[in-house]
């Protein structure tokens, strides 16, 4: 059972070693992950709306079909394997690494990394990062009872786990310093910035560490912070949306509404003016039934691409100067 990387790793090695693998994934798993797992020759079963439903189904199926279960996180060998990442990081990072931010779902990755790091470089602070929609390891870390949180989707489906492992929680309590939470907005923004600045495609769960820097940036000032971009299996449609939403957040994509007299040539004037103001029209829709102040006027919504907040003002002012009533639509 796996929401992603474990599935592909198992399928890959199963294929290499000639061992048949069956992977159960939650129904909401992005297509990209399902297809890449199948491509390695695994049988993929989609079951359960939540990872925990997937897990219960998998445990029952493994018993019934007499299959060996390779747990995605609550397994000492899996934890140790993921811990080798820390060896590579410590080898290649500057000796002054202060903090390592590690995304947590079931807890296997951070458990392995914390064990290895605290043994070799005990001065490095290990901070776990969870989605605020799935803060279950954080709650367990503080000894709180299982919180009653409504089931919500998250863009970080790779760490959307309701039951962290028993073994992993024991190691996390012993070796991890703290667990912080990040929201959907910060995760999205992290994916966007990694694509735009670092030219790297990272999935939500993999971007959680960068999201933590965005959210808790001030406290890390002057420190050397490392994080692990632990997955790139993001659906291309989702990435496409994240990019557009990132453009909108940075005012490089805005929606404005302009009232235009309902006569030939009026729309031509508006669109030409917007071109002269050096803004590119991405979308345009026209309607007459709602909102316009007169039956002889049409309300036109335009999605514009521009350079940022300053240019938004220039475009609105430029339209007003020519007598067109324009406003920003959020």
Read off φ and ψ for residue 180, nearest 5 degrees: -110, 160
Residue number with CB closer to a copy of itself (44 or 159): 44
* Least spacing, CB of residue 299 vs a copy of itself, in Å: 17
* Least spacing, CB of residue 220 vs a copy of itself, in Å: 22
Residue number with CB closer to a copy of itself (31 or 84): 31
* Least spacing, CB of residue 311 vs a copy of itself, in Å: 10
Tell me the CA distances in angstroms from 106 to 21, 22, 66, one per residue in order. 21, 20, 24
* C-alpha span between 280 and 307 (Å, rounded): 10
* Least spacing, CB of residue 121 vs a copy of itself, in Å: 28
Residue number with CB closer to a copy of itself (203 or 259): 203
Sign of the CA dihedral with 141 first, then 135, 101, and 105 last: positive
Read off φ and ψ for residue 317, nearest 5 degrees: -65, -40
Q: Are 33 and 4 in contact (CB under 8 A)?
A: yes
Q: Which residues bind a copy of itself (CB under 8 A)?
A: 31-32, 34-35, 192, 195-196, 199-202, 232, 236-237, 239-241, 243-244, 246-247, 252-253, 282, 305, 307
Bridge pairing between strands 280-287 and 297-305 = antiparallel
Q: 10 Å Cβ neighbour count for 127?
A: 22
Residue number with CB closer to a copy of itself (146 or 307): 307
* Least spacing, CB of residue 288 vs a copy of itself, in Å: 13
* C-alpha span between 156 and 41 (Å, rounded): 26
Query: Which residues are within 8 A (CB) of 49 and not within 5 positions of it... i.e. 6 or more apart?
Result: 26, 27, 28, 151
* C-alpha span between 320 and 273 (Å, rounded): 11
Residue number with CB closer to a copy of itself (243 or 266): 243
* Least spacing, CB of residue 145 vs a copy of itself, in Å: 36
HSE (side-chain half, CA atoms, 13 Å) at 268:
3
* C-alpha span between 237 and 271 (Å, rounded): 29
Residue number with CB closer to a copy of itself (46 or 149): 46
Residue number with CB closer to a copy of itself (115 or 195): 195
* Least spacing, CB of residue 47 vs a copy of itself, in Å: 13
């Amino acid at each position: 059972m796996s929401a992603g990387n474990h599935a592909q790793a198992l399928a890959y090695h199963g294929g290499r070693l000639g061992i048949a693998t069956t992977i159960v994934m939650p129904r909401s798993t992005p297509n990209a992950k399902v297809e890449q797992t199948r491509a390695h020759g695994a049988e993929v079963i989609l079951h359960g709306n939540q990872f925990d439903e997937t897990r219960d189904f998998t445990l029952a199926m493994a018993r019934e079909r007499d299959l060996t279960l390779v747990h995605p996180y609550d397994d000492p060998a899996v934890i140790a394997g993921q811990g080798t990442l820390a060896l590579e990081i410590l080898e290649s990072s500057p000796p002054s690494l202060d903090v390592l931010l590690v995304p947590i779902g079931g807890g296997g990755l951070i458990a392995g990394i914390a064990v290895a790091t605290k043994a070799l470089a005990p001065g490095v602070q290990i901070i776990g990062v969870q989605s605020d929609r799935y803060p279950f390891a954080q709650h367990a870390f503080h000894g709180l009872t299982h919180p009653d949180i409504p089931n919500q989707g998250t863009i970080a489906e790779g760490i959307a786990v309701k039951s962290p492992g028993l073994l992993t929680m024991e190691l996390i309590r012993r070796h991890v310093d703290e667990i912080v939470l990040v929201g959907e907005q910060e995760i999205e923004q992290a994916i966007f910035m990694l694509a735009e600045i670092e030219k790297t495609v990272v999935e939500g769960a993999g971007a959680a560490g960068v999201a933590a820097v965005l959210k808790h940036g001030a406290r890390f000032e002057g420190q050397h912070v490392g994080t692990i971009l632990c997955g790139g299996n993001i659906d291309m449609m989702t990435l496409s949306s994240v990019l557009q939403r990132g453009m909108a957040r940075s005012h490089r994509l805005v929606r404005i509404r302009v009232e235009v007299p309902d006569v030939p040539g009026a729309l031509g004037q508006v669109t030409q003016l917007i071109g002269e103001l050096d803004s590119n029209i991405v979308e345009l829709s026209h309607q007459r039934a709602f909102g316009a102040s007169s039956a002889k006027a049409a309300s036109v919504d335009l999605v514009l691409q521009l350079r940022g907040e300053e240019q938004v003002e220039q475009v609105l002012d430029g339209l007003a100067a020519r007598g067109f009533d324009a406003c920003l639509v959020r």
